[in-house]
Amino acid sequence: MSDVVPMPAPGGVFLDSRGSDRALRVTWHHEAGMVVLSFWRNGTCAATFRLDKADVIPFVDALVAGLADGYQLPQQRSAYDAG
């Protein structure tokens, strides 16, 4: 029989363009008013960054502004897993 593993908090996983052994995991912690960005390598968490909920919109705005500056999105689907 396998161990019981708790369900992760809402978020997603993004694979690094250098290979699937690296990933960025986004996990919402609404009870604490933050989102945690965790950096994974070979299945091990290497670092975390706690982003206060007040900073999420400016963070997303910075990403969108970078796209608006002329970056062409690839036609293929990204390596994103929301679940």
Whether residue 2 lies inside any domain: the answer is no
How far is it, in rounded angstroms, from Cα 79 to Cα 41? 16
Q: What is the mean pLDDT of each run of 10 residues along the chain (83 residues)?
A: 57 91 95 96 96 97 85 61 60
Euclidean distance between CA atoms 29 and 37, whole angstroms: 11
pTM of the model: 0.69
The alpha carbons of the chain give a radius of gyration, in whole angstroms, of 15
Parent domain of 62: 11-71
- Alpha-helical runs (H) found in 1-83: 53-68
The answer to whether residues 13 and 25 touch, using CB atoms and an 8 Å cutoff, is: yes
When divided into structural domains, the chain yields a total of 1
Tokens of 68: 């608006």
